[in-house]
Amino acid sequence: MIHRNVAGLTRLLCDADVNRKDYRAWYGMGQTYELLGEPYYAINYYQKAAALRPNDSRMWAALAACYEKVKRYANAPPPPNPSSPLPHLGKAESR
């Protein structure tokens, strides 16, 4: 039954009436596939959501969690925002 719902959501995303720049649809599909235990599919949708909302940490956290599940650490993209604090975490000076 859940797989039919996913198929319906996929068709909805492909429909011309849906705003493809709405990150919520992509993020929701990623969550759905992650709950179904399909992290490879979830990665695809989370990547689209992160591209639409690059400053939203939820997108990056979800994407990182899926990359961790499939053990693709090297493939995880860095956040595109250079002012993000994440790239600077390893450069902190000790006191």
Q: Which residues of the chain have pLDDT under 50?
A: 16, 87-95
Q: The whole model's pTM is what? A: 0.65
The per-residue pLDDT for range 62-83, each reduced to its tens digit, is 998 898 888 876 666 665 555 5
The domains found in the chain, sorted by start residue, are: 2-91 (1.25.40.10)
The pLDDT assigned to 27 comes to: 92
Helix (H, G, I), strand (E, B) or coil at 12: helix
